[in-house]
Amino acid sequence: MFYQATLPTFTDFNLLLQRQCFSVHLLHKQMHLYIRKLMSKFMKPEKIKDIRVSDIQYKAEENQLPDSKLTIGFTTRGTLNRLLEGGDISETQVKKFLGGVRSFFCEAVSYALSRLPLDEPVLQHATFVDWHQKMEASIDDVLFFIDRFQHLLPFNSPQDQDKVQEEFTDYQMMDEVSSRQWKEFTSTDAEAEFLRIDKLWVHLSSLKNEVTGQPRFLRLAKVAQLVLCLPHSNADAERVFSSIGLNKTDTRNALHLNGTLSSIMTIKMAASEPRCRFEPPAEVLRASRSATSSYNKSH
């Protein structure tokens, strides 16, 4: 019961990491929210609010909630009370269980703080591409990427940076997107509805200046596109390794990396529909027969 009540705290953040669409702009904010949510399970709210996550003294007992207020789920709490009142468990056992809960949350916070890149500047500055966070962003966020990726973003001259400043200010001052367009930029999965930030920036990059006819966000859009190319987790790489494992099995362990296996992976990743629905063209089937015949004769 405690497991069922606590698991969503971890899975909600993990869903973001597993998401296939561009999400690097969300990581900085969501990492901090995730850790604060963990802390709220066993800490007093006033000891968390308006304090830098890494500075919160979560191990100090005076900052923690008493056993009676630990977040363990109402079902778990009700079951504990019922068993205690019925004499099935003792006060000592209840106290031991709640002590274990407290240690579990402390360890979870400690692990998150040590593993998550909370101070990674790339993630901090990437938030400017997020429509919902644009007013909290600054031109320094954009210039960070121009300076870091000079070989891809040749906008280091004073003239170019003035233009970037103008485009960024224009972006911040834009009116809200119409509901019809917003619907086009939104995707829905099994869990939630979320903004496809890549679709939004495709739209922004297509806007023209009404006077000059030139792209309205010529330089800013290029910076945003580079930011959105950055991976937000290693989930994609894990999917590739998983797919390789499904194809190169113990009974098919001779597939060559630069030969058959590479061809299989290329075809699978390029396919836009399930493999069971794929029908090879007639000319491919004819060519495969002759190729098979030639191979068999040679071997």
pLDDT in tens, 83-106: 888 889 899 999 999 999 999 999
Domain boundary, last residue among 176, 206, 229: 229
Shared domain check, 142 and 75: no
pLDDT in tens, 261-293: 777 777 777 776 776 777 878 888 888 888 888
pLDDT at 286: 84
Shared domain check, 7 and 108: yes
Model confidence band, residue 149 (pLDDT cutoffs 50, 70, 90): very high
Model confidence band, residue 189 (pLDDT cutoffs 50, 70, 90): low
Shared domain check, 207 and 142: yes
Contact by Cβ (8 Å): 108, 42? no
- Considering only CA atoms, which of 241, 233, 18, 15 is closest in space to residue 115? 233
Domain that holds residue 158: 121-229
pLDDT at 41: 94
232 has a pLDDT exceeding 80: no
Cα dihedral 178→182→183→187 (10° resolution): 180
**What's the rounded mean pLDDT across residues 203-217?**
91
Domain count along the chain: 3
**What's the rounded mean pLDDT across residues 176-204?**
75
pLDDT at 263: 78
Mean pLDDT of the chain: 87
pLDDT in tens, 236-267: 677 777 777 777 777 677 777 777 777 777 77
Shared domain check, 198 and 163: yes
Domain boundary, last residue among 204, 229, 254: 229
Instruction: Record the pTM.
Output: 0.75
pLDDT at 192: 64
Shared domain check, 217 and 141: yes
Residue 100: alpha-carbon gap to chain centroid: 30
CA distance 127 to 28: 8
pLDDT in tens, 30-71: 999 999 999 999 999 999 998 999 999 999 999 999 999 999
What proportion of the chain, given as a percentage, has pLDDT over 70? 94
235 has a pLDDT exceeding 70: no
Instruction: Please report the DSSP string for 160-217 in residue order.
Output: HHHHHHHHHHHHHTPPPPPHHHHHHTEEE-SS-EEE-HHHHHHHHHH-B-TTT-SBTT
- Considering only CA atoms, which of 13, 233, 234, 1 is closest in space to residue 108? 13
Shared domain check, 225 and 154: yes
Domain boundary, last residue among 191, 214, 229: 229
190 has a pLDDT exceeding 60: no
Shared domain check, 239 and 225: no
